[in-house]
Amino acid sequence: MAATPIAEELARKQKEISVAEFFERNKQLLGFDSPTRAMLTSIKEAVDNSLDACEEAGMLPELLLEIREHSKGEYFVACQDNGPGIVKQNIPSVFGRLLYGSRFHAIRQSRGQQGIGISAVVMYAMLTTGRPTRVISKIGPDHPAIAMELILDTKKNAPDVLKQEVILWKDPRARVEDGPAREVKHGTRVEFVIKARYIRGKQSPYDYLRSCAIVNPHARIVLVEPDGTQTVFDRATEKMPAQCVEIKPHPEGLELGTLLKMAKETESYKLTSFLVNDFSRVSLDKARQVAQKAGLAENLRPKALDLEGAKRLVGAFKEVRLMAPPTDCLSPIGETLIRKGMKKDVSADFVVTHTRPASVYSGNPFQVESGLMYGGALGKEDQSTLLRFANRVPLLFQQGGCAITHAIEGMDWRRYGLEQKGGKGLPSGPVLFLVHIACTKIPFTSESKEAVADVPEIMAEVELAMRECARKMQVHIKKRARLAKLKEKEEIIRQLLPLIAQKSAHLLGRPVPPIEPVVAKIMNSVLIKEEIEFDEKKKLHHVRLEIINFTPTRKKFKLLSVVPADALVPGVDPKPSSMENHIITWDLKGLQTAERLQLGFDLMGLDKDGFDECELYVKDIDPELVNGAEPWDAEAYEKRLNEKDEEEEEEELPDENGGPGGKGSCGKGGED
């Protein structure tokens, strides 16, 4: 009898691997590689799901997170929200099936997209403690609360419901907050027991929720720790983030394989219709230009597009100028709220934020927001602190392998006044960096979603955003250093000169001469001081400027103050020579030696934390003589305005078909 060929023996051993079985054996890929990290990953997935559910339903999130020790090495964790709840028939699949969700195919910003997160927690709880996960859901006041206990069958990647019942759901927050117990109107609660370790400090659940509160200022989160400590991360605003609108892929950066796949699946019968209807920001006129550049017929059937034609089409996308992707698929936090969140826990001398215009990588729109804090309570000798966020989710692990870190490390921070050994790596000093990436598809390096891949477009935008913050920090550091040096010099002069004048007058038998002209000659500078106060009742920022001429001659120059574009200026005193392009200009005709001049203006329409330092410039005077203002560069400011105008025009101008080309427009106009 002939021996069985080895290939046939091997073939009999080969079988399909369930995705759940794969992750069961590779838990570290999902962030369950240690007891400490398992605790954080479980909490993170539950909190992210709750925040997403509340925001999609347009509800201000109210989250309760309870953690208590169940037995040695095992912890009970419960996460409850006030969201819309989950319908009964969907509960098993949402919590008991990997790769099941509603956001994977949608091109819009959301925290979770893969459909792995919370179901992976259910799997981990079952594997480490053998206990099922309990889910309670209620979709409205007139609907019953459904409670289910379930596990995940890893061989089938399917849920196994062990118990199901209708219950009267009383809000457990009555135990941790004042007031009588009340029935829950709507929401979801998930409870599980996992093998884990609870710590408090860096990379802990507390640290995660504190960071989460910075980029989710609209959420209120109550944390009850194992020792009974209750912490409330209160919301900083009642305003909900902008609802993200689902869009179609943008042609810029589109990959060849994706284009071929879309061409095979489209319902359009013409190439131009395919480009208009299946992509965003492509009008009929632009579609014709792309087809012409690619050397393809406008009426070519997309399903007949071959590899060579697809390559030419991808090249043509780069040659035709298309509008930037619509930004209403993204929900950036906003400069004011980032500033407010950063100031909540850390006091600093200087805070600056910056938001970049929307960009795109591989057809995916994204936007980078940055913040920087300097001085104050931040350690002078310590290494700087970096806070990373993606779609409003804190990234606490794998900092060294993240594109955000690499972009910041690649900058030469020594030119901005910070210590940086060898000109590489994170700088040292009293500085905190914050970077948030809002994107329709965050390119994470792994399923644990802790680091962003080194996508060149993303790294470039992070660097540009951080350079803008660094430039303003450099101006602040120089201004403060010069003012401190000048103040010290003035104090020494004013202490010594009167004594010298008195002694000299006594020796010569003459009256004591005035010292102000001598002080001015020694100081030889024009000092500009600023003071900003916020009127809570009138919601106004009162800005007061004092100009002192510490030079021996009369000075004539122009002082310019750039005010925020979204602020109103109800009053300026004295009357300026001009007010245009968000610039207040005073023409100071002649400031005598030792003369002090008071200027001021009010700003309306900004939050308290929206304005804390003036942007002052001078012209028609030697800038080396001025302390407290920078030399005016009209060309740089004009460039800044033009960039902003171009961004706004791209959002507001109609497309070539006469339809709206603003936010959310996909430029439909082709007909089959």
Identify the CATH number of the domain in which residue 594 sits: 2.60.40.290
Kindly state whether residues 449 and 533 are assigned to the same domain: no
Gap between the Cα atoms of 278 and 264, Å rounded: 12
Provide the pLDDT for residue 655. Answer: 44
pLDDT band (50, 70, 90) for residue 15: low
Tell how far CA 584 is from the center of its chain. Answer: 31
pLDDT digits (tens, 9 = 90+) for 63-99: 999 999 998 889 999 999 999 999 999 898 888 877 6
Strands 350-355 and 364-374: antiparallel
501 assigned to some structural domain? no
Kindly state whether residues 154 and 83 are assigned to the same domain: yes
Q: Which range (101-115, 292-306, 405-419, 607-621) has the least confidence? A: 101-115
Provide the pLDDT for residue 166. Answer: 92
What is the mean pLDDT of the segment spanning 380-387?
82
Kindly state whether residues 387 and 471 are assigned to the same domain: yes
Nearest CA-CA partner of 582 in 598, 567, 600: 567
Gap between the Cα atoms of 21 and 156, Å rounded: 9
Of 360 and 536, the one with more pLDDT: 536
487 assigned to some structural domain? no
Three-class SS of residue 340? helix
Backbone dihedral region of 429: left (phi > 0), alpha (psi from -120 to 50 degrees) or beta?
left
120, pLDDT greater than 90: no
Kindly state whether residues 148 and 217 are assigned to the same domain: yes
Of 377 and 659, the one with more pLDDT: 377
CA atoms 602, 604, 608, 611: torsion sign: negative
196 assigned to some structural domain? yes
Domain boundary among 319, 339, 362: 319
Three-class SS of residue 499? helix
Burial of 607 (0-12, 13-18, 19+ CB in 10 A): middle
Report the domain count for the chain.
Answer: 4
Cis omega (within 30 of 0) on the bond before 574? yes
557 assigned to some structural domain? yes
What is the mean pLDDT of the segment spanning 598-612?
87
Q: Which range (5-19, 51-65, 430-444) has the least confidence? A: 5-19
Provide the pLDDT for residue 52. Answer: 87
What is the mean pLDDT of the segment spanning 162-185?
75
Kindly state whether residues 310 and 355 are assigned to the same domain: no
Three-class SS of residue 591? strand
What is the mean pLDDT of the segment spanning 426-453?
89
Backbone dihedral region of 270: left (phi > 0), alpha (psi from -120 to 50 degrees) or beta?
beta
Cβ(372)–Cβ(431) below 8 Å:
yes
435, pLDDT greater than 90: yes
Gap between the Cα atoms of 620 and 338, Å rounded: 37
Provide the pLDDT for residue 21. Answer: 55
The single-letter DSSP state of residue 326 is: P
One-letter-per-residue 3-state SS of 355-386: ECCCEEECCEEEEEEEEEEECCCCCCCCECEE
What is the mean pLDDT of the segment spanning 433-447?
89
Kindly state whether residues 551 and 458 are assigned to the same domain: no
Check: pTM over 0.95? Answer yes or no.
no
Q: Which range (169-183, 255-269, 605-619, 648-662) has the least confidence? A: 648-662
Gap between the Cα atoms of 10 and 28, Å rounded: 29
485 assigned to some structural domain? no
609, pLDDT greater than 80: no
Place of tokens 């699949």: 93
> How much of the chain exceeds pLDDT 70, in percent?
86
**Domain containing 286 — which CATH number?**
1.10.8.50
**Domain containing 203 — which CATH number?**
3.30.565.10
181 assigned to some structural domain? yes
CA atoms 545, 551, 552, 557: torsion sign: negative
- Give the Å distances, CA to CA, from 670 to 247, 273, 288, 660: 17, 5, 10, 15
Gap between the Cα atoms of 608 and 211, Å rounded: 21
Of 98 and 137, the one with more pLDDT: 137
What is the mean pLDDT of the segment spanning 200-229?
90
262, pLDDT greater than 80: yes
Q: Which range (192-206, 336-350, 643-657) has the least confidence? A: 643-657
Place of tokens 């329709």: 440
**Domain containing 416 — which CATH number?**
3.30.230.10
Mean of pLDDT over the chain: 83
Nearest CA-CA partner of 527 in 614, 630, 629, 598: 629
Gap between the Cα atoms of 21 and 155, Å rounded: 6
pLDDT band (50, 70, 90) for residue 491: confident
Kindly state whether residues 59 and 178 are assigned to the same domain: yes
Three-class SS of residue 301? coil
Provide the pLDDT for residue 2. Answer: 55
Provide the pLDDT for residue 500. Answer: 81
Kindly state whether residues 435 and 576 are assigned to the same domain: no
Kindly state whether residues 65 and 209 are assigned to the same domain: yes
Query: How is residue 647 written in tokens?
Result: 């961004």
Provide the pLDDT for residue 23. Answer: 53
Residue 60 belongs to domain spanning: 19-233
Kindly state whether residues 86 and 225 are assigned to the same domain: yes
Gap between the Cα atoms of 511 and 12, Å rounded: 114
Helices 284-294/307-319 angle, 10° precision: 120
585 assigned to some structural domain? yes
Cβ(464)–Cβ(356) below 8 Å:
yes
Of 494 and 540, the one with more pLDDT: 540
Provide the pLDDT for residue 645. Answer: 59
Domain boundary among 425, 454, 475: 475
Provide the pLDDT for residue 1. Answer: 46
pLDDT band (50, 70, 90) for residue 572: very high
pLDDT digits (tens, 9 = 90+) for 546-566: 998 888 889 999 999 999 888
659, pLDDT greater than 50: no
Provide the pLDDT for residue 663. Answer: 38
Kindly state whether residues 313 and 358 are assigned to the same domain: no
647 assigned to some structural domain? no
What is the mean pLDDT of the segment spanning 342-355?
84
Backbone dihedral region of 217: left (phi > 0), alpha (psi from -120 to 50 degrees) or beta?
alpha
One-letter-per-residue 3-state SS of 130-184: CCCEEEEEECCCCCCEEEEEEEEECCCCEEEEEEEEEECCECHHHHCCCCCCCEC
Q: In what order do the strands lie in the sheet with 540-550?
A: 568-573, 596-604, 540-550, 525-535, 626-627
pLDDT digits (tens, 9 = 90+) for 27-70: 666 767 788 888 988 898 899 889 988 988 889 999 999 999 99
Domain boundary among 475, 500, 533: 475
Three-class SS of residue 44? helix
Kindly state whether residues 388 and 533 are assigned to the same domain: no
The alpha carbon torsion through 448, 451, 455, 456 (nearest 10 deg) reads: 180
